[in-house]
Chain A
Amino acid sequence: MMDAATITTWMNEIAGAVRAERDYLIQLDAAIGDGDHGINMTRGFDAVVRALAQEEDGTPGKLLTLAGKTLVSSVGGASGPLWGSALRRGGRALGDAPTFDDGKLVEALQAALAAVVDLGAAVLGDKTMVDAMDPAVATLRREVDAGTVLPVALRRAAEAAEVGMRATIPLQARKGRASYLGERSIGHQDPGATSTALIVRALERTVAGSQ
């Protein structure tokens, strides 16, 4: 079973990962956007870590919702509302329980993906974060349903996210700022899909570390 500490550790892991990859995300974004993705994600998840540090007693659902609200209020750009809504919706899916199991985790991530798709209206192949998030969630669902132990299921989900991330390279962007480049967006890896893969990897490390 997972609990509030899982959420806090996951958010800490994300903050560390986006900080470590800040310059790489900036570089990817400068090629097909405006070069601030690493800065915005770092600012956002640093704010999340600070917000969660004030909340000792929250349930996992409450903490994830707070993380989402904090992103909405601190990031701006497209990533703020998208990841903010994703975590808020995921938090609501976790409900009020003090712990959650593998199935509930899948449910929360599916809700998070649905929030991103609802708000951003991107579909697979648009060269966005959905290209990493959708295969990750689908893989996790399939593995958990098949009875795979969670650390292994999450490893496969993270691999699926990275495959999806790399698959954005030959795509022409149809959503987000990269879409303004038209054909010139081809040949570059999408920064949003890249940070999404980092976020899934962070979850894998969180769960592997606690087992």
Chain B
Amino acid sequence: MAMRKFLNDPEQLVKEALVGVELAHSDLLRFDRENQLLISKSAPRQGKVALISGGGSGHEPLHGGFVGVGMLDAACAGEVFTSPVPDQMLAATKAVDGGAGVVHIVKNYTGDVLNFKMAADEAADEGIKVEAVVMDDDVAVQDSLYTAGRRGVGATVLAEKIAGAAAARGDDLAAVAGIVRHVNERARSFGIALSSCTPPASGKPIFDLPEGEMEVGIGIHGEPGRRRAPLGTASEIAELMVEAVISDLKPASGANLLVFLNGMGGTPQIELYLMFAEVEARLSKAGYKTTRSLVGSYITSLEMAGASLTVLELSDATTALWDAPVNTPALRWGV
């Protein structure tokens, strides 16, 4: 099937979309066209630790949709599914530094890690304090000393919100970076795909998924999962995701949880709520309390159908930071 997308020139897609983000949210952010950045209108704020993130495009609203007040100060947009370049991260770091340093939230993909590292080295040469934290919450990938390790997925959204609130209340650089690390350590994710997706530049779906099958253990780049399995019912899939996440996270008995049921881009909200109910029932039966939740498509893989589950074990401190006001294109409450 031919590609059916709203496009002019695939090579201009990212820039043209960012123009739209700026026009739609001009109260919150601006688009730096030269460096392909979205920068909060409230940045830089003197004395506030700044937070930036970035990555390939195609995961919207991540990351640009989280730029504003109480979350990210800037987001660097790469080409679709391709990490941005160090020049962009360096420009973002300089644009938002209010003298208190900048936290780089980096998803664990070789490209993102290498480009952010080069940028952090250059920022340090220019006298800007940078703390980079690498997110790697995806339990589908077995970690080992000899591999690229686990992918950064859903916990990134939660870390950006929670650490953004810490920066907004005045925490220092080490503290804000520490909170990002804490969220990464206490969160795990697992994803399922019901379809592939088509990157506009290649125009072809990344993989073919026969009817009646699903990809289990996917990331956010339309790549196949760890294995292919017969498509189960929502109840069976929920069981699979909860088991994968909880057996790895091992929350304390009776723990308070933030449950993030994320859509991959092509799954309607009605199915996500159904999945959330299935997930919540299992967690509740296991004795956990879902005290906070987020249901919707926040870290996506273009038009891929599917969902990922992220569970964060909450403390009183992270709960308060989650509840703190946030005003961004994609997350907004308390304002």
Contacts and interface: CB of A to CB of B under 8 A. Distances in A.
Interface in B47-81: 56, 78-81
Nearest to B142: A182
A78 interface: yes
A211 B243 CA distance: 64
Interface in A34-77: 34-36, 38-40, 43, 72-77
6 contacts: A35-B199, A72-B118, A78-B109, A78-B111, A174-B146, A184-B224
Contacts of B199: 34-36
Interface in B10-61: 56
B222 A35 contact: yes
B296 interface: no
A207 to B, nearest CB: 30
Interface string B147-170: 110010000000000000000000
Contacts of B151: 180
B224 to A, nearest CB: 6
B84 interface: yes
A76 B110 contact: no
Contacts of B148: 174-177, 179-180
B318 interface: no
A34 B222 contact: yes
A183 to B, nearest CB: 8
B78 A76 contact: yes
A120 interface: yes
B114 A36 contact: no
Nearest to B11: A43
A10 B110 CA distance: 27
B217 to A, nearest CB: 8
A90 interface: no
Interface of B: 56, 78-87, 109-111, 114-115, 117-118, 140-142, 146-148, 151, 199, 201-202, 204, 206-207, 219, 221-224, 226-227
Contacts, number: 113
A34 B110 contact: no
Given A72-B85, A180-B148, 11 more contacts: A30-B202, A32-B223, A36-B80, A36-B82, A39-B202, A43-B79, A73-B85, A75-B82, A81-B118, A174-B147, A177-B221
B85 A34 contact: no
B110 A177 contact: yes
B75 to A, nearest CB: 14
Interface of B is mostly: loop
Contacts of A20: none
* Best-buried of B79, B87, B140, B207 by chain A (most CB within 10 Å): B79
B111 to A, nearest CB: 4
A90 B56 CA distance: 28
A33 B148 CA distance: 13
A69 to B, nearest CB: 10
B142 A80 contact: no
A122 to B, nearest CB: 9
A181 interface: yes
A19 B114 CA distance: 25
Given A36-B80, A36-B202, A77 B111 contact: yes
A117 interface: no
A92 B319 CA distance: 51
Contact of B85 (A35, A39, A74, A120): A74
A67 B39 CA distance: 30
A184 B82 CA distance: 22
B114 A119 contact: yes
Contacts of B111: 76-81
B110 A180 contact: no
Which has the most chain B C-beta neighbours within 10 Å: A38, A80, A126? A80
Contacts of B81: 34-36
Contacts of B226: 180-182, 184
A93 B151 CA distance: 35
A36 B302 CA distance: 14
Contacts of A165: none
A35 B206 contact: yes
A35 B204 contact: yes
A168 to B, nearest CB: 16
B36 to A, nearest CB: 10
Given A80-B85, A177-B221, A184-B227, A39 B114 contact: no
Interface string A197-209: 0000000000000
Contacts of A179: 141, 147-148
A82 interface: yes
Contact of A81 (B79, B115, B223, B227): B115
Q: Which of A43, A77, A126, A177 has the most CB of B within 10 A?
A: A77
A5 interface: no
A66 B137 CA distance: 37
Interface in A77-113: 77-82
